Amino acid sequence: MSLTIAVTAEANNGKRVSITGSLDSNTAPELQQTIDQEINDTVNTVIIDFKDLDFLSSAGLRVIFKAKKLVDGNSGKFILVNLQPQIKKVFEIIKALDGMNVFKDQDEMDEYLTAMQNKVIEGE
C-alpha cells in the first residue's frame, strides 16, 4: 500500500499535512522528507490530517513524534485531527495522546484554534 501526502497552507502560517493510505516503515521516509522540506521555524501551526489514513505503524509514529518535537522546539502548535478509530488505537496503546493536541474532527479543531487566538489577543 502506498502513501499520498498533500500539504496545504492554513491561517497564521499554518500548514496542513494530509496523509492518505498506509504510513508504515516503507512509506514513513516519504513523510519524513516532506516534513523536512515543508516545516521550518516560520511555520506556527502544523496540522496532521489523518482523515484518509488507513494504517499507521510504529515507524510512522516515530515520524509523527519527530515532527512534534520539531514544532515544539519552534514553539509552534502541533495538532492531530480526524483520527479514525484504528489510528487512534495505535496512539492509545503506546499512551502517546497525553500532551498531544488531538481533535476528532475539523469543527473541534477550529474551536480550539479560535479559542487559542482569542487567548493571544486578550493577553496582548
Partner 1 sequence: MNKIATNHSPENRRFQSLSSRLSLWIIAFVSLITITVLAYNHHMSRDLLEKYVEQLAIKTTTSTVQDIETVLHAVSSNADSLAAIIPSPDITEEHIRQILEAFVKTNSEIFGMAVALEPGVLNKTTGDFSPYFYKKDKTIAYKDLSDETYQYKNWPWYKDTKTGNRSTWSEPYVDTGGGDVHMVTYSTPVHLEDGKTFAGVATADIQLSWLDEVIKNSKIGKSGYGFIVSKNDTIIAHPDRSLHLKPLSSLAIDSENWKKYLNSKTSSEARYFYTPSCRISEDGCWVAIKTSAHSGWKIIIVIARDSLTSEISHLTIIAAVIAITGLLLTLLITTLITHRLTTPLKNLALSTRDIGSGNLDRPLPKAVRNDEIGALSNDFNAMRESLKKHISELQETTAKQQKLESEIQIARDIQMSMIPGAGTADIVDERFQLHALMKPAKTVGGDLYYYQVWEDSLRFIIGDVSDKGVPAALFMAKTVTLFTRALKENLSPGDTLTMMNEILSQNNDACMFVTALCGNIDLLTGNITMANAGHMNPLIKAADGCKEHEVDGATALGLMEGIQYQDICFTLDHKTSLIMYTDGISEAHDCENRQYTDERLLQLVSTGDAEDPGAIGDNIIRSVEKFSEGTEQFDDITLFIIRYE
Smallest distance, partner 1 to C-beta of residue 99, A: 7
User: Between 38 and 54, whose beta carbon lies closer to partner 1?
Assistant: 54
The size of the chain, in residues, is: 124
Q: Does 124 bind partner 1 (CB under 8 A)?
A: no
In 3D space, the residue among 20, 24, 27, 16 whose CA is nearest the CA of residue 5 turns out to be 20
Q: Does 66 bind partner 1 (CB under 8 A)?
A: yes
User: Between 56 and 109, whose beta carbon lies closer to partner 1?
Assistant: 56
Q: Does 116 bind partner 1 (CB under 8 A)?
A: no
Q: Does 101 bind partner 1 (CB under 8 A)?
A: no
In 3D space, the residue among 93, 11, 27, 20 whose CA is nearest the CA of residue 60 turns out to be 27
112/66 Cα distance (integer angstroms): 23
